[in-house]
Amino acid sequence: MAKMAKKVLITGANKGIGKQIARQMGKNGWIVLVGARNEERGLAAAGELLAEDIAAEYVNIDLRDPKTIAAAARGIESRHADLSMLINNAAIPGDMRKPGYEFTADELRGVMETNFFGPFELTRLLLPTLEKNNGRVVNISIPIGVSSRFNPFAYKTTKAALNVMTQSLAQNFTERDKAVEIFSIMPGATTTDLNGNITGKSVKTAEAAGKLIAGFILDGKNHNGELINENGAVADYNHGLF
């Protein structure tokens, strides 16, 4: 009997690293649900993948709008009950230059909604489906330890919450024998819109980041609770590569 293709939902899959993860997963035989907040951009990305013979479908998800998250989860439950992977990729950096004390609580809240509350809610709602399918949650993240070279307050604060979610839920899953894994991958500096398309010797292309991430996802290992650095080393809570 032919092996059934597996399904992955990737948020923010319309551009940047998310689109490249989608492409890599598709090339490896996965059916890709392209999460995007903008219909035109989401359909365009799904269309690009389809043109490359990758099975892809657009799913509307705005991480700052809980109604779209709930609707996406309901749609997946009814039409894609075989979903076995959620990749929480979409994120915003907030202002990366100004000092933390100049943020208002409202500004921080906006970044937190996108980078933590949205991914948390999506994960929570999809967990029963993922568990039924021995599934996995993959969070795309960053190291949040102190560094004089990289100190964006909102970005780090919100990704710290995401990293806690990875490690705390992983512990829960192990303790309660849940058939689901959660781990983070930190791809390192990558040229994308998120950072004004920075370039440099140690900055990789989005395509390279997509390949790196897909490589860890598809390596056949159990990564529950890990925060995987770009070099494959498992970071402790704070200490990653910057």
Ligand X SMILES: NC(=O)c1ccc[n+]([C@@H]2O[C@H](COP(=O)([O-])OP(=O)(O)OC[C@H]3O[C@@H](n4cnc5c(N)ncnc54)[C@H](OP(=O)(O)O)[C@@H]3O)[C@@H](O)[C@H]2O)c1
> Which of the residues are catalytic?
155
By rule CB under 6 A, what string of x and - marks binding of each residue 24-53 to ligand X?
-------------xx--x------------
Question: How many angstroms from the chain centroid is the CA of residue 188?
Answer: 14
Given the complex with ligand X, which of 188 and 225 has the nearer CB atom?
188
H/E element, 215: helix 206-217
| 12 counts as binding ligand X under rule CB under 6 A | yes
Torsion of CA 75, 169, 10, 16, to 10 degrees: 150
| 135 counts as binding ligand X under rule CB under 6 A | no
| 225 counts as binding ligand X under rule CB under 6 A | no
Q: Are 13 and 191 in contact (CB under 8 A)?
A: no
Task: Tell me the C-alpha distance between 234 and 241, whole Å.
Answer: 11
Residues paired with residue 34 on neighbouring β-strands, in sequence order: 10, 58
Task: Tell me the C-alpha distance between 227 and 138, whole Å.
Answer: 10
Q: Which residues, 165 to 224, sit near ligand X by CB under 6 A? A: 186-190, 192-195
| 92 counts as binding ligand X under rule CB under 6 A | yes
Given the complex with ligand X, which of 124 and 174 has the nearer CB atom?
124
Task: Tell me the C-alpha distance between 54 and 42, whole Å.
Answer: 15
Given the complex with ligand X, which of 74 and 131 has the nearer CB atom?
74
Nearest-CB residue to ligand X? Answer: 16
Residue ranges in contact with ligand X by CB under 6 A: 11-12, 14-18, 37-38, 41, 61-64, 89-92, 114, 140, 142, 186-190, 192-195
